[in-house]
Amino acid sequence: MIKWIKRNWIVMVILLILIIVGPLAINWLFKQKAPIEVLVAEWDASAALGYYGAVIGAAIAVYGVFLTIRYSQKNYKEDVRNRTLPFITLTMLKTKSYKKLFPVNVIENRNREKEEGYFEYKLQDYYCILENGMVGYQTGLSERQQEILNNAGTKWVSSPSGGSLVVVNDICVPIEIENVGNGTAIRLRYGLNRKGISEKDRRYLPVISLKPENPILLHIFSEDCSKESNNLGEYILSFYYEDIFSNRYKQDFEVMIEYNDAKNCPMVSVDMSHKQNFLGEKYNE
């Protein structure tokens, strides 16, 4: 409303003049003696004021219709613009090079020709590693960690008698992150942090843009969630992102890691409430 008044202050001034000065002028004129016969009034001041008010009301109504039509046209053009609005995002690709320097034989070398060389790829799979009460991120598991998963939560421990498989209180929670909205989530940063950590001390993965129907993966992994482990506790999986108009949003998912004495194993629960918080416009605060 304030912006509209600033843009149309001339119209407001004219309207105030007509409303205030007009009736005063009519009242003053009816007190004056007509200099010639043709100007002698055949009606009284109340009739003149009624006519004047009707004219002013009609003019305001016409101007209101004009503003409504112009506002509707502007909204229609804005809606068409929004539906066809292009927006450029960047995705940093990962690279790797592979070359086997000492092939076993010529046949093996030929079979590996398609696998060797320089590659570019989009990283869509991160591992969130819990270790000694700290949270870290990796693009893959170590050989030891992968072996624990492959052996159904056990690892081989050597001993003088030969060794044995030992049960590990590990957790592995694969999570698929998908944008089910209509537009791209711009400047998305996300990460797992302990619930009590302040916002400024939280750590997040590199910023990305997440398009609809293009899910990414996040694995929460720990090879030590025993009863006395520092990795147990409450965590927050946070997502911060924007739309193409720089409106900012936030979603938090609570993650609880606790040890179940009855089942004698760690348990993981995730709050799936999907509550979205609107943080406002980035550039209009």
Are residues 200 and 70 located together in one domain of the fold?
Answer: no
pLDDT above 80 for 175: yes
The boundaries of the domain holding residue 246 are 120-141+169-281
Are residues 6 and 51 located together in one domain of the fold?
Answer: yes
- Mean pLDDT of all residues in the chain? 83
Are residues 130 and 182 located together in one domain of the fold?
Answer: yes
Instruction: Quote the pLDDT of residue 285.
Output: 46
Q: Name which of 140, 127, 219 is nearest 174 in CA terms.
A: 219
User: Average of pLDDT values for 50-72?
Assistant: 85
Counting the structural domains of the chain, the total is 2
Are residues 131 and 36 located together in one domain of the fold?
Answer: no
Largest CA distance in the chain: 134
Residues with Cβ within 8 Å of 274's Cβ and at least 6 positions away in sequence, in order, are 251
Are residues 35 and 129 located together in one domain of the fold?
Answer: no
Residues with Cβ within 8 Å of 267's Cβ and at least 6 positions away in sequence, in order, are 257, 258, 259, 260
Structure-model confidence comparison of residues 261 and 155, the more confident one: 261
Are residues 136 and 242 located together in one domain of the fold?
Answer: yes
Instruction: Quote the pLDDT of residue 91.
Output: 65
Whole-number Å distance between alpha carbons of 84 and 121: 29
Compute, in degrees rounded to 10, the torsion defined by CA atoms 26, 30, 35, 36: 90
Contact criterion met (CB below 8 Å) for 188 and 239? yes
Looking at residue 228, the DSSP 8-state letter turns out to be: T
pLDDT above 80 for 158: no
Structure confidence at residue 87 as a pLDDT band (50, 70, 90): low
Instruction: Quote the pLDDT of residue 24.
Output: 80
Structure confidence at residue 136 as a pLDDT band (50, 70, 90): very high
User: Average of pLDDT values for 69-77?
Assistant: 85
**Residue 99 included in any domain:** no
**Residue 89 included in any domain:** no
Measured from the Cβ of residue 249, the count of other Cβ atoms closer than 10 Å reads 17
pLDDT above 70 for 42: no
Are residues 55 and 189 located together in one domain of the fold?
Answer: no
Whole-number Å distance between alpha carbons of 72 and 75: 5
